[in-house]
Structure 1
Amino acid sequence: MTRLKKFTSFSLRDLVASAGPTILGIAVVCIVAYLVVDPAPPRHVVLGTGQENSAYDVFGKRYQELLKKERIAVALQGSHGSRDNLKLLKEGKVDIAFMQSGTTDEAAPEREGLVSLGSLFTEPVWLFLRAKEGAPAITQLTQLRGLKINIGARGSGTPRLVRQILEVNGVDRAELQTTQLDNTPATVELLEGRIDGLVFAAAPDDPLIQMLLQTPGIVLFDFAQAEAYTRRLPFLTHVTLPRGIVDLGRDLPARDYHLIAPTATLVARDDLHPALVELFVQAAAKIHGGAGWFQQQGQFPSAKYTEIRVADEAAKYYKDGAPFLQRYMSFWLANFLDRMWVLLLALSALILPLSKIVPPLYVWRVRSRIYRWYGQLRTVEGAIEEAVEVPPEERGAIYAAQLERLNEIEDRVNHLSIPLSFADDLYGLRSHVHFVRQRIVELMGGAVIAGPVDT
């Protein structure tokens, strides 16, 4: 049984030795491709948000929570708003940021290496004014001349937006007394009566807007010409604040209000890793995809309502949905397979030639253990042939030495471990050893001498 265990259907050792270098080479190629061909997405990204407790700040924290589940650390960089975020993007201090449509010219973002990940939600222009007893209601922006209005914090997109709105009304900013306080201090100034009005451009769930909509003595300006504004400033949309939406029981507001609204967008540097673009867009769908005061279910996020070119990965998501692999497996596993598909295709193309190389190598390695004894056998025959040239009285010693050597060869051959599929080669070698022994015996002029017997 011990002897039989040496004979197997194939030799695992020879198979590993034959295929090992090929497998090792493929592994090295895979590792190099993993690290160099298409680097893995970074695990840290900086998101530019906005003022404390603003909609940008609140939503930024939700993105932070969602991406944390995918093991992506999102650092939040506060700012005064869109203009500050645009500057941070240009300087490379943030990778992605919230921005308001209309913040920049259409051609500028492409020159500056910026792309949009899509629009997220509408940010209506809220013009809150103090109601003055006995004074006529303000129904046109031309009536703001001479009033003290806070037009938004420096660094936000609101001052630029207010200037554009005033221009289409033929009003110069210099005709107003303008301040540029942050939202919270401006609200305090309005409530204390030190300013006549303030402008927000923010989502309706902003806490300050919710408060001002319910504060007695504070009125919301109605943009009755909202449709005309959207024709003059294409980045704006016309939205309606429905009657009673703030508080149905108290009927707040007591009527419908027409508002004009830019949209909040996610803007990124064009070198942001494509996998992170996909991840942020998927997070945006979870955060902003529901119904709201000014949007229907599934209306946002969207590739519309932005003047900045939408990133290819984001546009593909809006058209086809999430990548196929990410629908059924984790982000990192799907990303790994997606990055390696080119290499996998290349390796699959190598399977055929490799399948033709490894088997012959295996056969050669096994048979080489037999063939090297043919070399020893040929050496014995060479010594016999050379013995013809020596004196007859010396030939017997030569023949006896070669016969002893032949017995050693046969003993070693009998202990070879060869797969069963190569048994015919082994038995062929043993028969040739016997043939050479017979020849030596005949030359010695004696009887057949048997070789060593295995026990």
Structure 2
Amino acid sequence: MSPRPAARSLRLLLQTVRDMVVSMGPVLLLGGGLLVAAYVWLDPQPPRQVRLATGPAGSAYATFGEGYARLLAREGIQVALLASEGALDDLAHLRAGTADVGFVRGGMADPVADTEAGIVSLGSLFYEPLWVFYRRDLAIARRQPGGELQRLTQLRGLRVNVDQDGSGVPQIVEKLLALNQLQSTDLRLSNLAPDAAGAALREGRVDAAVLISAPQAGVIRALLRDPAIALMPFEQSEAYSRHLPFLSTVSLPRGVVDLAADLPPRDVPLLATTTALLAREQTHPALRQLFAQAALGQHGEAGWFNGARDFPNTRTSELPVSAEGDRAINGTPPGWARYLPFWAGNLLERMWLVVGGLLVLMLPLSRVVPPLYTFRVRSRVFRWYARLREVEARLEAGEGDREALLDELDELDRVTHRIAVPLSYADELYALRNNINAVRKRLLARRTG
């Protein structure tokens, strides 16, 4: 193929592509506008920072918070860990909007008020036993049966630490004391933080310490291994759980702390609350989904008080479980989640209905594309008829110089030879050229007549 026909073919191809793009322009513009509007409305991509309310430094909450921060950092999300006095303080941060997500133990939330305030659960995470540690020498000195304390009534008159007010422990202890017909004034109560309470107990500055924490907390493990410190069993645990439904009965298995040392030497019945991961409804759905997925990795293994996959769960939640938490814990992740990065999978998950709806909408609208394309191609031919008709009108009226009219027809003929149209429209181009030639013949015939 010679260079000239090749260049003409390339020009025709480019012209055809441009015609198609321009013809589809209105449909594409409408679809793109709707897609952008849906993206802005759905806001599928989460903010890059989220605030997680944790407990005091060294607590199990703080340890878990660091784990969540590492897991979410892999997805480009920065978790700002908000230190607090404990579960009740975490709930206060959620209510005030100063935290987006937080650890809150059972019995703290108000199922009615907090639901109305837009606080939802992402699932229950783990048991937090109620630990009552005391000094062994105290029980011996007071000549308690078996040399140990077994009931809360035996704490009467003792120096007992019940954790900080923001932890929620004082409120639970008050309920337990009331069941035993005790007043808070019957004990000499203090409110040291867990680590400080452990040190005070070992040094003899307090006689007993009540803690509610997961066994991962360093102070719990240290006190369990201290030979001078004993753990009080809750032999009436079933009765307590009947009176206070947010409490569960658990057992610290024999030897679970140290199998070689047979520590503890027997099963110890305990009471436990169930800690949940709560979030505000205003927290971005994608972030709630990420936290629920991270919970599976953080709390899915067997522990001292639960078997593998007992947690996280949605069975023991006091507040409504968000759709993201339920789907992450009880559902099956979509197939694309295995292969796509989080941001892409999240975008697909939240936009696929919109994209599908746009496709359904665009199908009938796409019917206007062929007529628009036809009009655009034919207009390149038909617009020259106006000029040809003007020449013919001047010819019929005898106006204008005949040589000038011939020059104008020649110019019009040269223009039409540069018009490129697809083969399916070539007949209209040749019809224009024939009409130009017909007018030229009439003009020449009149000139020679």
TM-score of the pair, normalised by structure 1: 0.91
Q: What residue number does 2:20 align with? A: 15
CA apart distance, 1:379: 1.5
Q: What residue number does 1:393 align with? A: none
Q: What residue number does 1:449 align with? A: none
Q: What residue number does 1:382 align with? A: 393
Higher helix share: 2
In 2, Cα distance between equivalents of 1:194 and 1:200: 16
Structure 1 residue corresponding to 2:433, chosen from 430, 436, 442: 430
CA apart distance, 1:286: 0.4
| Aligned: 1:247 with 2:254 | no
In 2, Cα distance between equivalents of 1:336 and 1:417: 43
In 1, Cα distance between equivalents of 2:401 and 2:25: 45
Contact 1:282–1:322, Cα closer than 8 Å, also in 2: no
CA apart distance, 1:248: 1.6
Gaps of 5+ in 2: none
Instruction: Decide which moves more: 15-24 or 82-91.
Output: 15-24
In 2, Cα distance between equivalents of 1:77 and 1:198: 25
| Aligned: 1:268 with 2:279 | yes
CA separation of 1:106/1:352 partners in 2, compared to 1, >3 Å: closer, same or farther? closer
CA apart distance, 1:398: 4.5
How many percent identity over aligned positions?
Answer: 43
| Number of aligned residue pairs | 438
| Aligned: 1:319 with 2:330 | yes
| Aligned: 1:256 with 2:267 | yes
CA separation of 1:118/1:422 partners in 2, compared to 1, >3 Å: closer, same or farther? same
In 2, Cα distance between equivalents of 1:305 and 1:372: 76
Q: What residue number does 1:89 align with? A: 94
CA apart distance, 1:190: 1.0
Structure 1 residue corresponding to 2:8, chosen from 2, 6, 21: 6
CA deviation vs aligned residue, 1:97-132 (integer Å, no higher than 9, x gap): 111111133323113321111110000011011123
| Aligned: 1:34 with 2:39 | yes
Instruction: Decide which moves more: 19-28 or 297-306.
Output: 19-28
Query: Which letter maps to 1:76?
Result: L
Q: What residue number does 2:130 align with? A: 125
Query: Which letter maps to 2:95?
Result: K
In 2, Cα distance between equivalents of 1:106 and 1:13: 62
CA separation of 1:322/1:184 partners in 2, compared to 1, >3 Å: closer, same or farther? same
Q: What residue number does 1:413 align with? A: 416
Contact 1:275–1:335, Cα closer than 8 Å, also in 2: yes
| Structure 2 counterparts to residues 160-199 of structure 1, below 5 A | 160-199=171-210
Structure 1 residue corresponding to 2:108, chosen from 103, 108, 111: 103
CA separation of 1:2/1:434 partners in 2, compared to 1, >3 Å: closer, same or farther? farther
CA apart distance, 1:25: 4.2
In 2, Cα distance between equivalents of 1:276 and 1:419: 53
Contact 1:126–1:221, Cα closer than 8 Å, also in 2: yes
Gaps of 5+ in 1: 391-396, 447-455
Query: Which letter maps to 1:262?
Result: T
Contact 1:317–1:323, Cα closer than 8 Å, also in 2: no
In 2, Cα distance between equivalents of 1:251 and 1:13: 82
CA apart distance, 1:163: 1.2
Contact 2:27–2:366, Cα closer than 8 Å, also in 1: no
CA apart distance, 1:400: 4.2
Query: Which letter maps to 1:82?
Result: A
- Helix, strand or coil at the partner of 2:166: coil
Question: Over the residues paired in the alignment, what is the CA RMSD in angstroms?
Answer: 2.0
Contact 2:45–2:343, Cα closer than 8 Å, also in 1: no
Contact 2:44–2:346, Cα closer than 8 Å, also in 1: no
Rg larger for: 1
In 1, Cα distance between equivalents of 2:357 and 2:339: 25
In 1, Cα distance between equivalents of 2:344 and 2:298: 24
| Aligned: 1:155 with 2:157 | no
Query: Which letter maps to 1:287?
Result: Q
| Structure 2 counterparts to residues 50-61 of structure 1, below 5 A | 50-61=55-66
CA apart distance, 1:353: 3.1
In 1, Cα distance between equivalents of 2:204 and 2:226: 13
CA apart distance, 1:298: 0.5
| Structure 2 counterparts to residues 267-416 of structure 1, below 5 A | 267-387=278-398, 398-416=401-419
Contact 1:325–1:334, Cα closer than 8 Å, also in 2: yes
CA apart distance, 1:445: 4.1
Contact 1:47–1:97, Cα closer than 8 Å, also in 2: yes
CA separation of 1:34/1:315 partners in 2, compared to 1, >3 Å: closer, same or farther? same
- Helix, strand or coil at the partner of 1:198: strand
CA deviation vs aligned residue, 1:197-251 (integer Å, no higher than 9, x gap): 0011111121111111111121111111112222111111111111111112211
- Helix, strand or coil at the partner of 1:262: strand
Contact 1:6–1:418, Cα closer than 8 Å, also in 2: no
In 1, Cα distance between equivalents of 2:303 and 2:200: 30
CA deviation vs aligned residue, 1:385-439 (integer Å, no higher than 9, x gap): 212xx8xxxxxx8444433322222122122222223211111111112222222
CA apart distance, 1:39: 5.2
In 1, Cα distance between equivalents of 2:4 and 2:389: 28
Instruction: Decide which moves more: 175-184 or 435-444.
Output: 435-444
CA separation of 1:274/1:167 partners in 2, compared to 1, >3 Å: closer, same or farther? same
CA apart distance, 1:23: 2.7
CA apart distance, 1:326: 2.6
Query: Which letter maps to 2:299?
Result: H
Structure 2 residue corresponding to 1:74, chosen from 52, 63, 79: 79
Q: What residue number does 1:224 align with? A: 235
CA deviation vs aligned residue, 1:275-296 (integer Å, no higher than 9, x gap): 1111100000000000111111
